[in-house]
Structure 1
Amino acid sequence: LKNSSHYIFNDYLRKIYSQGNVKCLEDHLTVAVLDERTDDHQLSLLHLICAGHSEQQSQKVTILLDKCGDDDAKRRALLSNITKNGFSALHIAIYKCEVATAEVLLSNGADPNLAGRSELPPLNLAAMCANVELVERLISAGAALHALDFVNFTALHCATYFAHERVVRLLLRRGADPNYSGGVRDRPLHLASSKGHVGIVSALLEAGADPTLADDEGNTSLHFAAKTGHVGIIDLLLLKIGAGHQEVC
């Protein structure tokens, strides 16, 4: 019976905050405890709103956070709460590509660098999701360009790995280091050369990526391109290497 009542309560919260309209939320907030959480995944009321699907989600976030009044500590606690799996409300909004909701969270003080137990910086997640608008907003809010995630990738590594050229170019314009190395000294250019992303290779080279840099096993971008047979990329790399030699001479 106890488990059954918990299930009913969790389902009730989900329906109000994830699926319900503004009126339902406002009615419940008259009696709700702001730090309520579901028993299963430890989802806060803010998580539930961000996980929802309606045009009113950003408005609902605003209403919930406004209930904190002048209690900044409570507002910060809501914004920094993480789920059982290690994600913040901002993570959820980014994953769902809810730009308006993410805007409200950030404007209310959500930490753009809170990686949580998942060790996933919000900027890296936005780069994976190919959302240029969110990437721009996070950088403007102070997201660290070179924060490393659970596989020691930066946001630029992530955008490169998932072949999101527009995000790659934006990150480079905003100051991402094209030669920044991951956990095994793997560079974005290594990833792009291996995967055959010609446009991304070009963008990285234009931004100053060094094709002669090697990873921990001694492989350069040219090795990766040759191993996978990407002739066009091999040509680009050789042109860059040749130009570098001419400059030295």
Structure 2
Amino acid sequence: MSRTTPLIVAAWRGHVQVVSLLLEARADPCEAQSGEGTPLWFAAEAGWPDIARELLQRGAAADMCDPGGRSPLWAAARHGHVEVLKILLDEGGRLLDAPAETGATPLFVAAERGHLNAVELLLERRASLQVENRFGATPLAVAAESGWPEVVAALLKAGASPGTSNVHRATPLHLAAAGGHCDCTRLLLDAAAEVDATNVQGATPLMLAAERDRQATVELLLARRADPMRRNASGGAAVELAESQ
């Protein structure tokens, strides 16, 4: 079992008065749980702004990450804890674009989980739009893949490129179409995403939607002049992929 401290337990569970008492008794606000994070990290993860504020006032380091390279800011962003994010960003925001070991930044994980308010705050503080995780995915790509149209719209408005592709050459449009996320697909097309872009297998967004029976998305892509007769690397066309379902 991981070694923990009373301060970490109190910070995680949101016991403000207990945190204050422990700090008065000179508990170390920077002592990390074995193999995990600091009291501030756990307060950020759980979304306790008053505790985060008190820990910072008592000397907690906002830039102390867990062993996976995830900062308190990253932890707050992942769960959409906007008030905690504001507190940490006001500390200086040094880790605004700091990635975890996976390459995912605070904006990336907020976008992936659909936390619109957190995404808007991070964009307001000028978080980078073009960061990529280890698979080459951007915040826009994961928002499109997860089906969060409001987040996709916010990222596009902030200047995210709909034409970026991951290590498999899949664009955000590929990912949205494959998931049958019609609203995201429409937003990307409106932002001039290439309708017949091909991934490493030569597949277009229409092919991915067709082979997964995403009927509404197929109709949308066809209405935007996607080519139903274009063939992938295996020789299959969208119309044939649809018929095989």
Q: Shorter-chain-normalised TM-score: which range? A: 0.7 to 0.9
Provide the residue aligned with 1:163 in structure 2.
147
Q: Which amino acid aligns with 1:191?
A: L
What is the deviation of 1:205?
Answer: 0.6
In structure 2, how many angstroms separate the alpha carbons of the residues matched to 1:134 and 1:20?
21
Equivalence for 1:37? 32
The alpha carbon displacement at 1:163 in A equals 0.9
Give, in whole Å, the separation in 2 of the partners of 1:169 and 1:241.
Answer: 22
141-150 or 128-137, which moves further after superposition?
Answer: 141-150
Partner of 2:237: none
TM-score (norm 1): 0.82
Q: Is 2:42 the partner of 1:51?
A: no
**Residue of structure 2 equivalent to 1:182:** 166
Root-mean-square deviation (CA, aligned residues, Å) is: 2.1
Deviates more, 1:25-34 or 1:99-108: 25-34
Give the distance between the partners of 2:12 and 2:139, measured in 1 at CA. 29
Q: How many Å apart are 1:199 and its aligned residue?
A: 1.3
* Cα distance in 2 for residues equivalent to 1:181 and 1:152: 7
Partner of 2:56: 65
> What are the ranges of 5 or more consecutive residues in structure 1 without an aligned counterpart?
69-74, 243-249
- How many angstroms apart in 2 are the aligned matches of 1:201 and 1:113? 27
C-alpha distance in 2 between matches for 1:171 and 1:155: 8
Equivalent of residue 98 in structure 1, options 61, 81, 84: 81
Aligned counterparts of 1:138 and 1:16: Cα–Cα separation in 2: 28
Q: Distance in 2 between matches of 1:15 and 1:67?
A: 17
TM-score (norm 2): 0.83
Q: Which residue of 1 aligns with 2:201?
A: 217
Give how far 1:152 is off. Answer: 1.7
AA aligned opposite 1:96: H
Displacement of 1:11: 4.6
Give distance in 2, aligned partners of 1:177 and 1:51: 30
Partner of 2:90: 107
Seq. identity, %: 25
1:20 CA drift (Å): 4.9
Q: Which ranges of structure 2 fall in alignment gaps of 5 or more residues?
A: 227-245
Report the equivalent of 2:229. Answer: none
Are 1:132 and 2:116 counterparts? yes
Counterpart contact for 2:79–2:110, Cα < 8 Å: no
| 2:235 equivalent in structure 1 | none
User: Between Structure 1 and Structure 2, how many residues are aligned?
Assistant: 224
- Partner Cα distance (1:116, 1:98) in 2: 18
